[in-house]
Amino acid sequence: MVRGLFAAGLSVGWGMFILQAVNVTAQEQTIEWSEQEKPIVVGLQGLRGLPDDVRAATTKDLALKIQKLPVVPNKLLLANGLANLSTEGDFGQDTLQQVTTTLAKAVQEQPVPAAKNGDPAEPYVELAELARYEHMQTAPLSAADTPQLAVALAKLEAVDQQRQRADFTLTDLQGKSWAFKDLRGKVVLVNFWATWCPPCRKEMPDLDTLYMRFKDQGLVILAISDEDAGKVTPFIAERKISYPILLDPGHEVNALFAVRGIPKSFVYDRDGKLVAQSIDMRTQKQFLEMLEQAGLK
């Protein structure tokens, strides 16, 4: 997942620092990686360049290596960094569970204090998302005995209620206005993305294939970017994307949906009910599973 603005009152600073720590050379210079940690950092940096089957095996191997690290701050940084990268597609439930367990154990070993305003720290938010949206087990932690995890889960529940009530009107690249409330009777997939986001770019061809397949059955895809038209228009033209691209330059709809990382997708059925959502990039198979929950097959 590529982090963006995190609305809904949960802290984003920690998560952004983690991704910078494992992906940005300048940031690495401020952290002293041990000899045991350096190969893991290199492995995290290279994950997005691997074929999916190799990436799955490598991800699981990195999770096990992180578990074996001594209990030091870098261990939690690496565990959360791996979790951020491990939802970018479908690498198997076993792999994702291993990643989740690695993060949960790291948090148990080295708890992170909540923000001054009481918001849960980033690792607890990450675990809550993995539990709620990816159906992962967070053992050895549980909401019953981990207050920050309980708060994070409660905030996600509130955010989902907000998304269910969401209504907005935006304009696409051709100047057409789209009012979300006018789309009842359609299956609507709302996708948040940006030109600079590698996972966003990776899932776009699959979204376009599904749009062409299901648009005559009532599928509408509204892909929302908070960038300006001058940047988005040539990007879309080059890739020949067919589905509507909407602009949210004021970031208002991103905030309405409490988008803290992209890509992120939400599927509403013909009655306007939110029936499925993604924590991150999805494969065509995963998108199909989401659409099936809205009655498209």
Q: Which domain holds residue 134?
A: 9-161
Question: How confident is the model at residue 3, as a pLDDT?
Answer: 53
Q: pTM of this prediction?
A: 0.89
How far apart (Å, rounded) are the C-alpha atoms in residues 223 and 283? 16
Residue 239 and residue 260: Cα distance in Å, rounded? 26
Which of 114, 142, 161 is the last residue in one of the domains?
161
Contact yes or no for 214/291 (Cβ under 8 A): yes
Torsion angle, alpha carbons of 77, 78, 82, 84, to 10: 20
Q: Can you give the CATH number for the domain in which 222 is found?
A: 3.40.30.10
Give the pLDDT of residue 73: 84
In this prediction, residue 15 carries a pLDDT of: 41
Q: Does residue 137 share a domain with residue 32?
A: yes
pLDDT attached to residue 150: 98
Residue 16 has a pLDDT of 42
Please answer whether residues 200 and 2 qualify as being in contact, where contact means their C-beta atoms are separated by less than 8 angstroms. Answer: yes
| Domains contained in the chain, number | 2
Last residue of a domain, one of 135, 161, 187: 161
Successive 10-residue mean pLDDT values, the chain, 297 residues: 42 42 47 93 95 96 97 93 96 97 97 94 96 97 97 97 96 97 97 97 98 98 97 96 96 95 97 96 97 96
Looking at the structure, tell me whether residues 31 and 108 fall in a common domain.
Answer: yes
Q: Phi and psi for 270 in degrees, rounded to 5?
A: -70, -15
In a domain, 272, yes or no: yes
Q: What is the pLDDT of residue 13?
A: 40
* CA 144/CA 163 separation, integer angstroms: 26
Residue that terminates a domain, selected from 137, 161, 185: 161
User: Is 1 contained in some domain?
Assistant: no
